[in-house]
Structure 1
Amino acid sequence: MGVVSLRERKRARTRQAVVDAAVDLFERNGYEGTTVADIAAAAEIGTRTFFSYFPSKEEVLFPEADVRVRAALTAIDNRSPSEGPAEVLVRALREVTAESSEITGPTARLRMRLMREVPAILGRGLQIQLDGQRQIARHLQAAYPDSLDAVSAAALAGALTGAVTGALLALFEDPDRPDDPEELKMAVERATEIALAPWTASADGVREESRA
């Protein structure tokens, strides 16, 4: 891993300050009641500087949109000979939830709520999800050409993203559930394991037959 420069660290801090300011303003004033200028002022930057970090207001709600995708692609590339495609995807999700709050943190909770209320955010969220599914599916098929075709690879990638999204919707809609990040992470991982279980069982069956 290379050394992160002072300039890169400063950009990362400013970027996070923009996200934090936006989340706070969206919570207090609503999405429609918050402007880019408001966010920039709260983050103590100029409006032009805001657009050097995010192309639009809704993009602030997806600050790490590619984290899950990059984790999945890296996990596929670094797979062990004994790992099947479903096992690789479950491992990738575990690594993401261990290293980042992108899925279960305050921004994720706000994002899921606003996706139900603001069409532009819903549209952007679905676009990001579909783009990620395509990337993961293509990478899976290339990595497992003997066991996956285009349809089965797409089904696996869809099961992963669908399980995560479905679990988060259920978790964040439950007013009685404690806001415990570790509990949320475990619930999302469990949902993913359930969704991918048929593929894991299938792979186990193939391995048993090969040993017979």
Structure 2
Amino acid sequence: MTTEPGLRERKKKRTRTALVRAAIALFTEQGYEQTTVAQIAAAADVSTRTFFDHFPTKEDVLFMHATERTELVKHMIESCDGSETPGELLVRVLKENLLTTVWNQDIVSGAVTLRLKLIKTVPAIQAFALQRLLEVEEQLTDALCAAYPDRLTRYEAAVMVGSTIGGILGALRLTVLDHDDPEKVRESLLQAIDVTSRGLRHFDTAASVPLS
């Protein structure tokens, strides 16, 4: 009985992964707008109802790993022990996630390249991606503020999160669409994090003085 929840969760994850892989393959082969939810479900060998048990919309399939990463980053920020400055924490957390989870799940599989191409060409994906970006930045800003309540204002936390995510997205846009070599993408992400970390030093200096 004690293993049943774990088994259910693993089965759920396998189904979600199968749906994502099927969707990416179909989007690549026949186009996003030409692909239906029914086709994705059939390719993953599940029912359409099962698809909607896991994803509210077709757009959500493209961003599954992004949603999981956001939750992981939030958890890591919320679990910090306060020994790092806010900037050091952001850099460490994003490096750990970008160079493991993102790289393995999205870059190697080609999901990042496909997502960026669709963001540029499909209005529905553009709108969805913008909404998701705003939600992610707000969630991470809240988490950072909660982790350093006496050291950061909400404005400072928002600027730190926004500038860091913006740098990473900029590197992805410039690199992923021009290269299919995961190592080049990895190097670009590292460089983007290093560049944005320089700007975070100002906030780390300011944050070293407790707010009055």
TM-score by length of 2: 0.86
SS at structure 1 position matched to 2:64 = coil
Q: Of 106, 112, 123, which residue of structure 2 is paired with 1:108?
A: 112
| Preserved CA contact (<8 Å) 2:175 2:184 | no
SS at structure 2 position matched to 1:159 = helix
Whichever residue aligns with residue 47 of structure 2, its letter is G
My pick for the range that moved more, 74-83 or 163-172, is 74-83
| Preserved CA contact (<8 Å) 1:141 1:149 | yes
Q: In percent, how many aligned pairs have the same letter?
A: 40
Partner of 1:181: 182
Relative contact order, CA 8 A, sep 6+: which one is greater? 2
CA distance in 1, matches of 2:59, 2:89: 31
My pick for the range that moved more, 156-165 or 98-107, is 98-107
Cα deviation digits, residues 43-96 of structure 1 (max 9, x gap): 111111111111111111011232332233223233344311111111111221
Label 1:120 to 1:151 Cα distance change in 2 as closer, same or farther (>3 A). same
| Preserved CA contact (<8 Å) 2:113 2:176 | yes
Whichever residue aligns with residue 51 of structure 1, its letter is F
My pick for the range that moved more, 111-120 or 92-101, is 92-101
Give ranges in structure 1 of 5+ residues lacking alignment: none
Cα deviation digits, residues 134-186 of structure 1 (max 9, x gap): 11112212222333211111001101221121111111221xx3x23343233
SS at structure 2 position matched to 1:79 = coil
Partner of 2:129: 125
Alignment of 1:147 onto 2:147: no
Within 5 Å, which residues of 2 pair with 1:47-196? 47-100=48-101, 101-102=104-105, 104-105=107-108, 106-174=110-178, 177=179, 179-196=180-197
TM-score by length of 1: 0.86
| Preserved CA contact (<8 Å) 1:84 1:203 | yes
Whichever residue aligns with residue 161 of structure 2, its letter is A
SS at structure 2 position matched to 1:87 = helix
1:39 Cα deviation from its structure 2 partner = 0.8
Two-structure CA RMSD over aligned residues (Å): 2.3
Partner of 2:38: 37
Label 1:148 to 1:75 Cα distance change in 2 as closer, same or farther (>3 A). same
| Preserved CA contact (<8 Å) 1:93 1:189 | no
The count of aligned residue pairs is: 204
| Preserved CA contact (<8 Å) 1:164 1:192 | yes
Question: If each structure's helix is expressed as a fraction of its own residues, which one has the higher value?
Answer: 2
Label 1:157 to 1:89 Cα distance change in 2 as closer, same or farther (>3 A). same
CA distance in 1, matches of 2:137, 2:29: 33
Cα deviation digits, residues 175-210 of structure 1 (max 9, x gap): xx3x23343233213202212312225536987x9x
CA distance in 2, matches of 1:206, 1:137: 15
My pick for the range that moved more, 145-154 or 17-26, is 145-154
